[in-house]
Structure 1
Amino acid sequence: MNITTLERTRAAWIADEDAAVLGRIRDSHVHLAVWQRARPRDLDWLDSLDYDGIDDVQETLPVESLACTLPAKLLQAGYPEGPHSALGHEITALALRYARIMQTKSIRMRLEIVETDACRKFHMDNVRARLLMPLTEPGTQWIEAEAGPEEPINHLRAGDVGIFKGRIWAETPAILHRSPPIAGTGVARLLLVLDLPSPTRTAET
Structure 2
Amino acid sequence: MRPAPALAEPHALVDASHAFVWTPEELADIYRDGLNLCVWRRGLDAPLSHWLSDVTATRELDVIARVRSEAPDLRLRLGGLPQGPLFEAWLADVHFLVRLYSDLLGATELGVRIHILDRDMCPRFHVDRVGVRLLCTYAGPATEWLENAHVVRSALGATGDVTRPGASVHALERFDVALLKGESWPGNQGNGAVHRSPAISGSGRRRLFLSIEAL
Q: TM-score, normalised by structure 2?
A: 0.82
**1:181 equivalent in alignment to 2:199:** yes
Structure 2 residue runs of 5 or longer lacking an equivalent are 1-8, 151-163
Q: Distance in 2 between matches of 1:3 and 1:134?
A: 21
The sequence identity of aligned pairs, in percent, is 28
Contact 1:21/1:34 (8 A) holds in 2: no
Offset of residue 149 of structure 1:
2.8
Q: CA offsets per residue over residues 134-167 of structure 1, 9 Å max, x none?
A: 1012100000233133122111100101000011
Q: Distance in 2 between matches of 1:107 and 1:26?
A: 19
Compared CA separation, residues 190 and 39, structure 1 to 2 (3 A): same
Contact 1:39/1:135 (8 A) holds in 2: no
Compared CA separation, residues 126 and 140, structure 1 to 2 (3 A): same
**1:103 equivalent in alignment to 2:106:** yes
1:172 counterpart residue number: 190
2:153 counterpart residue number: none
Q: Which is worse superposed, 150-159 or 184-193? A: 150-159
Of 137, 140, 146, the residue aligned with 1:137 is: 140
* Runs (4+) off by over 4 Å: none
Q: Distance in 2 between matches of 1:111 and 1:65?
A: 17
Compared CA separation, residues 94 and 46, structure 1 to 2 (3 A): same
Q: Which is worse superposed, 79-88 or 125-134? A: 79-88
Q: Which is worse superposed, 161-170 or 148-157? A: 148-157
1:80 counterpart residue number: 82
Q: Distance in 1 between matches of 2:11 and 2:81?
A: 40
1:159 counterpart residue number: 175
Contact 1:141/1:153 (8 A) holds in 2: yes
Offset of residue 23 of structure 1:
1.1
Structure 1 residue runs of 5 or longer lacking an equivalent are 198-205
Aligned residue identity for 2:165: P
Q: Distance in 2 between matches of 1:73 and 1:3?
A: 36
Q: Which is worse superposed, 166-175 or 181-190? A: 166-175
1:2 counterpart residue number: 10
Offset of residue 50 of structure 1:
5.3
Q: Distance in 1 between matches of 2:167 and 2:56?
A: 36
Offset of residue 116 of structure 1:
1.2
Give the number of equivalent residue pairs: 190
